[in-house]
């Protein structure tokens, strides 16, 4: 039997209620870069990945079976201390809903905090040991 070897995630799609509010949040709070591509579509770039943004009122086909705002739960890794992450989120006025707590990520032990974006998606920001 043969198999393929997946290297990384290229992009994920977020279905959102307000694309510009989402771009503002991720640029301001997480330092992502809002980009426009194709026929005026919007995305958020960071590292070697991006989040494509689909409007909830008109999801772009093909799409998930039940695309809706607030259904995502994902973790981003920060190049900072957890104290630096907490300080930045406080300056941005973003409430922490849980953490800092210890978790195990794809590469081992990490400390993480949880927050919500404008669509109430669960956003985890982690710092590896």
Catalytic positions are: 124
Angle between helices 19-30 and 82-92 (to 10 degrees): 130
E strand segments, 17-90: 33-37, 41-46, 49-55, 73-77
Burial (0-12, 13-18, 19+ Cβ within 10 Å), 112: buried
Beta strands at 73-77 and 98-105: parallel, antiparallel or unpaired = unpaired
41-to-11, 17, 51, 54 alpha-carbon distances in Å: 14, 15, 11, 8
Calpha distance 44→6 (Å, rounded) = 22
């Amino acid at each position: 039997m043969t198999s393929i070897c997946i290297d990384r995630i290229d992009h994920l799609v977020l279905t959102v209620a307000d694309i510009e509010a989402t771009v503002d949040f991720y640029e301001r709070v997480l330092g992502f870069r809002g980009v426009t591509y194709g026929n005026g579509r919007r995305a958020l770039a960071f590292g070697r990945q991006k989040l494509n943004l689909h409007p909830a009122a008109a999801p772009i086909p093909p799409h998930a079976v039940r695309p809706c705002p607030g259904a995502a739960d994902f973790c981003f890794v920060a190049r900072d201390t957890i104290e630096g992450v907490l300080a930045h989120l406080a300056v941005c006025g973003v409430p922490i809903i849980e953490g800092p707590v210890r978790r195990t990520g794809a590469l081992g032990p990490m400390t993480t905090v949880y927050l919500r974006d404008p669509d109430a998606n669960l956003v985890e920001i982690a710092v590896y040991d």
